[in-house]
């Protein structure tokens, strides 16, 4: 099997009623795989120990536990999720600006972190 690099492009937009819409594509996955993707507490991908856990400060339950992808036969997964109580606005409660977005491999692959990227706001 040829190794591929997991990557992708995402658009994060603030919506009404304190919501955040995340849309885009995750590429380089195993065909037909199902795994998780989440916003984590960290602000860097350079050190795995600083990526941290799922980011949901102040919420009673982790909303990221149910967020998953399922890849198509080409190893591409479409993402389209609206998350309540998050924002791209810097200095607001539960702002994800500057935090990291993590893609995990499928549970069959051990759910290891496969990709990490820093969320960089544009036009704010």
Q: What is the pLDDT of residues 12-50, one digit of tens each?
A: 999 888 899 999 999 999 999 999 999 999 999 999 999
The residues near 102 (Cβ < 8 Å, ≥ 6 apart) are: 37, 38, 39, 40, 51, 113, 115, 116
β-bridge mates for residue 118, sequence order? 100
pLDDT (mean) for 89-96: 88
The CA dihedral of 123, 14, 27, 45, to the nearest 10 degrees, is: 70
pTM over 0.75? The answer is: yes
- On whether the CB atoms of residues 92 and 35 are closer than 8 A, the answer is no
* pLDDT score of 109: 67
- SS3 state at 64: helix
Beta strands, E only, 28-71: 34-40, 68-70
């Amino acid at each position: 099997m040829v190794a591929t690099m997991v990557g992708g492009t995402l658009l994060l937009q603030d919506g009404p009623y304190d919501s955040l819409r995340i849309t885009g594509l995750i590429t380089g996955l195993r065909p037909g795989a199902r795994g998780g993707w989440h916003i984590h507490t960290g602000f860097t991908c350079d050190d795995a120990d600083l990526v941290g856990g799922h980011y949901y400060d102040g919420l009673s339950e982790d909303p990221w536990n149910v967020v998953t992808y399922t890849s198509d036969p080409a190893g591409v997964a479409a993402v389209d999720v609206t998350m309540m109580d998050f924002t791209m606005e810097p200095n607001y409660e539960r702002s994800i600006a500057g935090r990291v977005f993590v893609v995990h491999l499928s549970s069959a692959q051990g759910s290891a972190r496969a990709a990490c990227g820093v969320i960089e706001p544009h036009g704010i």
